[in-house]
């Protein structure tokens, strides 16, 4: 038994007739004439969204100077993070970001303190008794 054809009649699109739009109260031409640009609204929206906003995600590639990192955690650590975030009424991502920024600040302070101690210990500065130069040198 042959299957019926699922194609259009005569296999061509040339026999399609334009659809009569009918009579409508607001036709497209009347609506186009009635549209007036609201300059106040346009300027207000332009002020809210400047074109060169550094925090814009315009292309989706950047958000200011931020960069995205993926973080893989085991199930137990992830549950601990979720619980800690829930206690603080934060999202796990926000809490993780806060902790990382705090740790980076702490590391920076610790490194600068360690560097100061190292510089103070290995200085070329010598200290002499002020009275040592008042005495004449024996020849």
Dump pLDDT digits (tens) for 16-34.
Answer: 566 666 666 666 666 666 6
Q: For residue range 31-81, what is the model confidence (pLDDT) as tens digits?
A: 666 667 778 888 788 778 766 555 555 555 556 778 888 889 999 999 999
Q: What is the distance between the alpha carbons of residues 3 and 9, in angstroms, rounded to a whole number?
A: 15
What is the percent of the chain where pLDDT is above 90?
A: 26
Do 93 and 100 meet the contact criterion of CB atoms below 8 Å apart?
no
Residue 70 CA: distances (Å) to CA of 58, 66, 91, 114, 116: 22, 13, 16, 31, 35
Distances, alpha carbon 4 to alpha carbons 10, 16, 18, 56, in Å:
14, 22, 27, 55
The answer to whether residue 9 scores a pLDDT higher than 70 is no
Greatest Cα pair distance in the chain: 131
- 82 within 8 A of 95, measured Cβ to Cβ: no
């Amino acid at each position: 038994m042959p299957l019926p054809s699922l194609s259009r009649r005569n296999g061509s699109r040339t026999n399609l007739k334009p659809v009569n739009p009918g009579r409508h109260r607001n036709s497209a031409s009347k609506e186009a004439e009635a549209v007036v640009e609201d300059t106040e609204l346009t300027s207000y929206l332009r002020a809210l969204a400047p074109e060169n906003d550094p925090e814009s995600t315009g292309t989706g590639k950047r958000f200011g100077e931020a960069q995205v990192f993926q973080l893989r955690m085991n199930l137990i650590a992830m549950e601990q993070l979720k619980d800690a975030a829930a206690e603080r009424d934060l999202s796990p991502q926000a809490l993780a970001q806060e902790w990382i920024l705090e740790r980076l600040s702490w590391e920076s302070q610790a490194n600068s303190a360690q560097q100061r101690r190292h510089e103070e210990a290995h200085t070329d500065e010598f200290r002499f008794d002020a009275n040592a130069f008042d005495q004449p040198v024996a020849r």
